[in-house]
Chains A and B, each alone.
Chain A
Amino acid sequence: MPDEREDVLEITVLIEDVDAARLSEKATENATSNYSLNVSLAERDRSQDHLVLSFSLELTSQPAMARFKVSGSATLKGTKDEIKEGIAAPNDSRPPLVLLEIYERIYSTVYLLASALKVPRPMPNLLKKSS
């Protein structure tokens, strides 16, 4: 019921699909490798107090040693203004809050997969926009 919630934006992330590939036989866990991240967010459903987004994240190491694709949904629950703030990028170099939450949520999965594939692990501290 509307008056039972607290006035704080709540973001829940659900992973629906994961794909991981080792792209080079020379790859090792300790090799220095930066990852580029291609992100796509799209509205799936919206109502008075929530917004559901589909997300798709593709991480590719540079040089190419591994690739991870993760997709799923993120649900933002809050007031209209809180939701608006959650999906807006503060500026060109900083991602929207919802993306930070998604990355934080998927990071442990990607980390484990990178370990299993013996490829460099991406860093947790997203996100500097690539030039």
Chain B
Amino acid sequence: MIQETGTNLYSGILRFYSLNDVRKYMKELLEHYQRDYDRSSNVIGSLLRTEGGKGMEVIMSKGWAKVGAMFVDVTDPEKGGMELTFQLVTEMKPRISKTEEVLKTFESVEALPVPADASFLLYLHSGIPERLVIDTTESRPEAYVFKGDYATVQ
């Protein structure tokens, strides 16, 4: 399998040991989504410019047929592929907006009275940060230190 384009959208819970790390992670997430969006929308934009004035018809395939439970395009792979990219771009927008909004308003979370030794569980749903648990039961592990004496022997 080769991934052509798009983002693997993570659903799960991540633990952080500071709100700063949560912010940093979400910022990187947003930058990742934006890069993907730019890449895919450039492909669409470039095609629309090349085909000048033809509008959406250049990315809308007429070759779709319902086979089983899914739609399959067997007659127009170029437009079919382009239409998928267009759908992807359309779906990326709300994810980017939501992540941006979470990040913009994250100050209000940072202003909460948080115990110094708390950790944070971030819930991501299809790549969107949706919930945060301030966990006072599991604090940051003690900083790792190791000292030892060893030898190499001939």
Contacts and interface: CB of A to CB of B under 8 A. Distances in A.
Interface of A: 1-4, 32-43, 46-48, 51, 53, 59, 80, 87, 89, 95-96, 99, 120, 122-130
Given A3-B8, A46-B17, A48-B15, A34 B151 contact: yes
Given A1-B7, A4-B8, A46-B17, A36 B151 contact: yes
B149 interface: yes
A41 B143 CA distance: 11
Main secondary structure of the interface of A (DSSP, over half): mixed
Contacts of B147: 39-41
A37 B153 CA distance: 11
A128 B151 contact: yes
Contact of B152 (A89, A99, A127): A127
A48 B143 contact: no
Interface in B112-144: 140-141, 143-144
A39 B150 contact: yes
B16 A129 contact: no
A39 B146 contact: yes
A2 B14 contact: yes
A32 B144 CA distance: 36
A130 B153 CA distance: 10
Contacts of B153: 34, 123, 128
B154 interface: yes
B106 interface: no
B146 to A, nearest CB: 4
B154 A42 contact: no
B25 A35 contact: no
